[in-house]
């Protein structure tokens, strides 16, 4: 369908952009396998002697692994709490009719539109009073403030997809509202629930501002702890590269796993 | 329903609390010294040259990257839609920048431009040009680098959104234009783009609202420097709150910003909410 000249133009655009997109990541990957001397070799090389030293050192770094575990715990905790709050709320709201939806949508948009800093200040002061500073519980709570509205919004459209006739049939058979919810609606919305959960996980894994301000050491997450390798004695690029790869690997795999839903769901209110 | 109301409370209350804090003098190092300040924090704002500078930086860091993201994203969506042989895997690669933790994205670019050890020096070596410059030491190049990183992070996702919008369109009009001799670009420009205009507008509004979410990137890449050249308003609020421990002033800055952004974007947001719920009702 395309003329040859147009085809060439398309290929040039696509490959120019993909080079721009992947070059920095490829460089991160290559640096993560380089020894200290090769990193600053002159002239620089893309592939040097491959060594696993950086990974060995990062995996053997107790402080970093502690924060990596924190990331896993905080992200999983946020997923569980968000889902406990969002599932019944989304189900209930999906069965209401459209007037409430305008209000609901305005609320989701408001939370999305508010800059993170506007939340940090009051929660910082409240956490100081409540002794939640530098705790994983506190971090889970504040992450949930952001993820729950998003989860509700995504889940509503999936619950909307559950046909009312099937639910009515369950009612006729004597099921209670709760049974209908757990036995009929939940299984039918399962793909939506899975992608909402993964999205919440990614958000919480990547979250930086709260993890930076609400933690000191005990509950620091990996996305913040990686900065420790930018010390006063110079930046340890080998370790940063290896740690960076370790941090981005889980979320990259997740995103590719739900790629069918990813664009649709993570856009939140953005659809045509 | 009760859980829902509780959720609304914990998400909306903090905004009001921040407004409250901005109206007081608060000194975290001396508890009990809190007293009412009225609008004095806001008066201070407009005499603070560093704040006024951060406003300019904010405008640059919002509008330049968002404009680039939309234009490049549209072009890429048009290209990907053709499903040329060998481009299928690119859709998957496009997901990467959207899910990499922003702090890591900042580090990725910081490493890429390290003079001597970065990929940029390597590319320079390959093509025979010396690119080993310390880009972070000059205001102009540091700002450019933040913009480039922001484009890198946001564009692929914008492209994927535009792509799904383009793919939902019918082919007839486009085909007809092609048969009438319109070029590939003309056919998109006159047929496809007007059709997806609402989507473009929606995406633009969200990108504008979320443009300053590049906080971690700035934190890692430049720390706001050199000389405030890359210090947007939310970063300045962070510095006040957590380095100078002036919580009240930080609250003032960020609340002011929130109001301005809502003022600019709420007409569009209301529009989006209306259209969205109309579609749901159908």
Phi-psi region of A213 (alpha: psi -120 to 50; beta: other; left: phi over 0): alpha
- Same-domain check for residues A95 and A186: yes
- Same-domain check for residues A75 and A183: yes
What is the average pLDDT across A57-83? 92
> What are A152's strand-pairing partners?
none
Q: Say whether A110 and B121 touch across the interface (CB within 8 A).
A: no
For the entire predicted model, the pTM comes to 0.88
Q: Chain A contact for B125, CB < 8 A?
A: yes
Q: Say whether A122 and B21 touch across the interface (CB within 8 A).
A: yes
- Same-domain check for residues A46 and A67: no
- Same-domain check for residues A154 and A262: yes
Those residues with Cβ within 8 angstroms of residue A233's Cβ, 6 or more apart along the chain or in another chain: none
Sign of the torsion angle spanned by Cα atoms B268, B270, B276, B282 = negative
Q: Chain A contact for B9, CB < 8 A?
A: no
Residue A264: predicted pLDDT? 66
- Same-domain check for residues A27 and A128: no
- Report the length, in residues, of chain A: 272
What is the average pLDDT across B181-197? 83
Q: Say whether B11 and A111 touch across the interface (CB within 8 A).
A: yes
With contacts defined as CB-CB under 8 Å, which chain A residues touch B7? 85, 89, 148-149, 152
Those residues with Cβ within 8 angstroms of residue B214's Cβ, 6 or more apart along the chain or in another chain: B61, B102, B146, B149, B150, B153
Per residue in B117-142, pLDDT (tens digit) is 778 888 887 787 777 777 888 888 89
Q: Say whether A121 and B123 touch across the interface (CB within 8 A).
A: no
DSSP tag of A132: -
Q: Is the pLDDT of residue B242 over 60?
A: yes
What is the average pLDDT across B216-230? 87
Residue entry with tokens 């990596």: A68
Return the structure tokens found at B78: 């048009």
What three-state secondary structure class fits A215?
coil
Q: Is residue A143 part of a domain?
A: yes
- Same-domain check for residues A73 and A143: yes
Residue A233: predicted pLDDT? 66
Q: Domain map of chain B by residue range?
A: 1-281
Q: Chain A contact for B196, CB < 8 A?
A: yes
Instruction: Measure the CA angle with vertex B3, ends A128 and A70; round to 5°.
Output: 45
Residue A160: predicted pLDDT? 82
Q: Among the residues of chain B, which ranges form H helices?
A: 2-22, 40-45, 49-81, 88-99, 102-112, 119-127, 139-167, 172-179, 184-187, 193-195, 197-210, 215-221, 233-242, 247-281
- Same-domain check for residues A42 and A93: no
- Same-domain check for residues A190 and A240: yes
Q: Is the pLDDT of residue B101 over 50?
A: yes
CB B44 within 8 A of CB B249: yes
Q: Chain A contact for B274, CB < 8 A?
A: yes
DSSP string, B165-229: HHHTS-SHHHHHHHHTT--HHHHIIIIIHHHTHHHHHHHHHHHHHHGGGGHHHHHHHTTT-STTT
Q: Is the pLDDT of residue A244 over 80?
A: yes
Q: Is the pLDDT of residue A272 over 60?
A: no
- Same-domain check for residues A22 and A117: no
Residue A270: predicted pLDDT? 41
DSSP tag of A14: H
> Alpha-carbon dihedral of residues B71, B272, B255, B218, nearest 10 degrees?
-30
Cis peptide, bond prior to residue A43, ω within 30 of zero:
yes
CB A246 within 8 A of CB A64: no
Q: Which of A8, A16, A27 to mutate to test binding with chain B, by most B CBs within 10 Å of its CB?
A: A27
Q: Is residue A94 part of a domain?
A: yes
What three-state secondary structure class fits B54?
helix
- Same-domain check for residues A159 and A66: yes
The values of phi and psi at residue B133, to 5°, are -110, 150
Q: Which of B66, B82, B117 to mutate to test binding with chain A, by most A CBs within 10 Å of its CB?
A: B117
Alpha carbon distance B204, B20 (integer Å): 31
Whichever domain contains A228, its CATH number is 1.10.3720.10
With contacts defined as CB-CB under 8 Å, which chain A residues touch B91? 259
What three-state secondary structure class fits B35?
strand
Q: Using only C-alpha atoms, what is the Rg of chain A?
A: 23
If one counts the domains in chain A, the total is 2
Q: How many CB atoms lie within 10 A of CB A185?
A: 20
The values of phi and psi at residue A52, to 5°, are -100, 10
Q: Is residue A56 part of a domain?
A: no
The mean pLDDT value of chain B amounts to 83
Nearest neighbour of A105 by CB, restricted to B108, B111, B273: B273
SS3 of A164-212: HHHHHHHHHCCCCHHHHHHHHHHHHCHHHHHHHHHHHHHHHHHCCHHHH
DSSP tag of A229: G
Query: Does domain B1-281 sit in CATH 1.10.3720.10?
Result: yes
Q: How many CB atoms lie within 10 A of CB B110?
A: 23
Q: Is residue A57 part of a domain?
A: no
Q: Is residue A124 part of a domain?
A: yes
What is the average pLDDT across A66-93? 91
Q: Say whether B99 and A42 touch across the interface (CB within 8 A).
A: no
Residue B33: predicted pLDDT? 63
Per residue in A194-221, pLDDT (tens digit) is 888 998 999 999 999 998 988 888 888 9
| Beta-sheet pairing, A234-235 with B35-36 | unpaired
CB A142 within 8 A of CB A124: no
Q: Domain range spanning residue A38?
A: 1-50
Alpha carbon distance A97, A60 (integer Å): 55
A257 to chain B, minimum CA–CA distance in Å? 10
- Same-domain check for residues A126 and A169: yes
With contacts defined as CB-CB under 8 Å, which chain A residues touch B165? 272
- Same-domain check for residues A33 and A71: no
Nearest neighbour of A101 by CB, restricted to B100, B199, B280: B280
């Amino acid at each position: 369908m395309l003329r040859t000249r147009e085809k060439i133009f398309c290929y040039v655009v696509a490959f120019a952009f993909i080079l721009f997109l992947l070059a920095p990541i490829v460089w991160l990957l290559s640096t993560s396998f380089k020894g200290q001397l090769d990193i600053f070799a002159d002239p620089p090389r893309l592939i040097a002697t491959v060594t696993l030293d950086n990974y060995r050192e990062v995996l053997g770094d107790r402080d970093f692994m502690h924060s990596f575990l924190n990331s896993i715990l905080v992200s999983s905790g946020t997923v569980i709490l968000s889902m406990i709050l969002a599932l019944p709320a989304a189900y209930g709201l999906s069965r209401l009719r459209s007037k409430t939806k305008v209000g609901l949508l305005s609320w989701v948009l408001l939370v999305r539109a508010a800059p993170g800093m506007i939340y940090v200040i009051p929660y910082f002061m409240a956490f100081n009073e409540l002794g939640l500073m530098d705790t994983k519980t506190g971090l889970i709570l504040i992450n949930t403030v952001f993820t729950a509205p998003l989860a509700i919004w995504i889940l509503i459209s999936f619950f909307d997809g559950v046909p009312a006739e099937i639910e009515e049939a369950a009612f006729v058979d004597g099921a209670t509202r709760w049974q209908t919810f757990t036995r009929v609606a939940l299984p039918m919305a399962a793909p939506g629930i899975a992608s909402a959960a993964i999205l919440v996980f990614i958000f919480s894994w990547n979250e930086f501002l709260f993890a930076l301000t609400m933690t000191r050491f005990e509950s620091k997450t990996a996305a913040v702890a990686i900065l420790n390798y930018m010390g006063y004695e110079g930046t340890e690029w080998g370790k940063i590269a290896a740690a960076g790869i370790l941090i981005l690997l889980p979320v990259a795999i997740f995103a590719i796993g739900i790629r069918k839903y990813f664009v649709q769901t993570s856009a939140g209110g953005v659809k045509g | 329903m009760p859980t829902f109301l509780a959720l609304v409370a914990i998400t909306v209350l903090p905004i009001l609390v921040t407004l409250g804090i901005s109206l007081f003098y608060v000194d975290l190092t001396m508890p009990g010294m809190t007293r009412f300040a009225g609008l004095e924090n806001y008066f201070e704002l407009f005499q603070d040259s560093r704040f006024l500078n951060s406003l300019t930086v904010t405008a640059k860091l919002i509008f330049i990257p968002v404009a680039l993201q939309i234009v490049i994203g549209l072009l890429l969506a048009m290209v990907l839609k053709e499903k040329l042989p060998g481009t299928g895997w690119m859709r998957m690669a496009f997901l990467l920048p959207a899910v990499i933790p922003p702090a890591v994205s900042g580090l990725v670019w910081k490493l890429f431009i390290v003079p001597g050890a970065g990929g940029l020096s390597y590319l320079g070596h390959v093509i025979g040009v010396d690119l080993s410059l310390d880009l972070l030491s000059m205001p102009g190049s540091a700002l450019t680098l933040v913009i480039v990183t922001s484009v890198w992070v946001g564009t692929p996702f914008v492209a994927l959104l535009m792509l799904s919008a383009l793919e939902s369109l019918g082919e007839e009009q486009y085909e007809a234009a092609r048969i009438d001799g319109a070029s590939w670009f003309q056919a998109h420009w006159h047929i496809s783009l007007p059709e997806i205009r609402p989507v473009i507008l929606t995406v633009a509004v969200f990108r504008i609202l979320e443009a300053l979410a590049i906080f971690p990137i700035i934190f890692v890449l430049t720390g706001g420097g050199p000389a405030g050249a890359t210090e947007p308003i939310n970063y300045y609020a962070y510095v006040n709150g957590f380095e100078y421990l002036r919580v009240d002033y930080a609250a003032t800055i960020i609340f002011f910003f929130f109001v301005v952004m809502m003022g600019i974007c709420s007409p569009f947001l209301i529009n989006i909410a209306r259209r969205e719920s109309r579609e749901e009702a159908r």
